């Protein structure tokens, strides 16, 4: 089974463990609190954008740009945020989902490919090519899942959210419902991978 390229999130952001006072201060316009909140969100938002945009976007800067737009969207919407911490992550990923759709639309219109600088060889390092191929395989597998299962795998496996956080983001009834759906999704992926490797196994 292909390894899932987990988001570059070393420590992990947990909105459930986030200091409520930090969010309240950021909503109230405190600049230091706002900066701290956006720094906390950025790795997770970037990981989500990378997972959702996939290999359709040939430049990693596309995901970076999308993540920046998400954070700007959060920044602009913060003064009107009226819910508690437990709903904040859903609020953030709601903005992220819309920004990803916008980025995909722009990507469909942008047919330009990156051009090498004059005098430089336009060869990608082997590691970059392998990473791109890995992303393409993962993207193909995820595209065959039902929408909710795909979102759960992205948030749980690629982004690294807890079951509770994922339930909050997707509006699911419980952590248990997330785990059951995730188990079914991963079982489906394993079955399809096994079938692809051995067509006679199905």
Instruction: Note the pLDDT tens digit of each residue in 20-53.
Output: 888 999 999 999 999 999 999 999 899 888 888 8
Q: Domain for residue 10, yes or no?
A: no
CATH of the domain at 139: 1.10.10.10
Q: Domain for residue 8, yes or no?
A: no
Rounded mean pLDDT, 54-67: 73
Q: Domain for residue 6, yes or no?
A: no
Q: Domain for residue 120, yes or no?
A: no
Q: Rounded mean pLDDT of the chain?
A: 76
Residue 124 and residue 133 in contact, taking contact as beta carbons nearer than 8 Å? no
Note the pTM of the prediction, 2 decimals.
Answer: 0.68
Q: How many CB atoms lie within 10 A of CB 143?
A: 9
Burial grade of 42 (CB within 10 A; 0-12, 13-18, 19 or more): middle
The span from the CA of 82 to the CA of 28, in Å, is 11
DSSP state of 85: G
Q: Domain for residue 25, yes or no?
A: yes
List, for residues 99-132, the tens digit of each pLDDT value. Answer: 998 888 887 654 443 433 333 334 444 454 455 5
DSSP state of 173: S
Nearest 10 degrees: Cα torsion 141, 145, 147, 151: -60
Q: Give the residue numbers spanning the domain of 103.
A: 20-110+125-201
List, for residues 158-199, the tens digit of each pLDDT value. Answer: 888 889 888 888 888 899 999 999 999 999 888 877 776 655
Cβ contacts of 42 within 8 Å, gap of 6 or more: 67, 71
Structural domain total, the chain: 1
Rounded mean pLDDT, 136-156: 83
């Amino acid at each position: 089974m292909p390894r899932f390229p987990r988001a570059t999130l070393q420590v992990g952001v947990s909105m459930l463990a986030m200091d409520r006072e930090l969010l309240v201060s950021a909503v109230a316009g405190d600049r230091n609190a706002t900066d701290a909140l956006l720094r906390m969100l950025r790795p997770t938002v970037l990981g989500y954008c990378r997972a959702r945009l996939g290999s359709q976007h040939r430049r990693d800067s596309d995901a970076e740009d999308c993540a920046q737009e998400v954070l700007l969207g959060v920044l602009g919407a913060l003064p009107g945020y009226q819910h508690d911490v437990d709903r904040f992550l859903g609020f953030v990923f709601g903005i992220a989902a819309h920004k990803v759709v916008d980025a995909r639309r722009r990507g469909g219109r942008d047919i330009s490919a990156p051009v090498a600088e004059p005098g430089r060889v336009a060869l990608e390092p082997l590691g970059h090519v392998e990473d791109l191929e890995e992303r393409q395989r993962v993207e193909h597998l995820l595209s065959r899942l039902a929408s909710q299962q795909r979102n759960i795998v992205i948030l749980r496996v690629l982004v690294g959210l807890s079951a509770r956080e994922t339930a909050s983001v997707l509006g699911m009834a419980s952590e248990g419902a997330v785990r059951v759906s995730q188990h079914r999704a991963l079982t489906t992926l394993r079955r399809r991978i096994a079938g692809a490797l051995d067509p006679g196994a199905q």
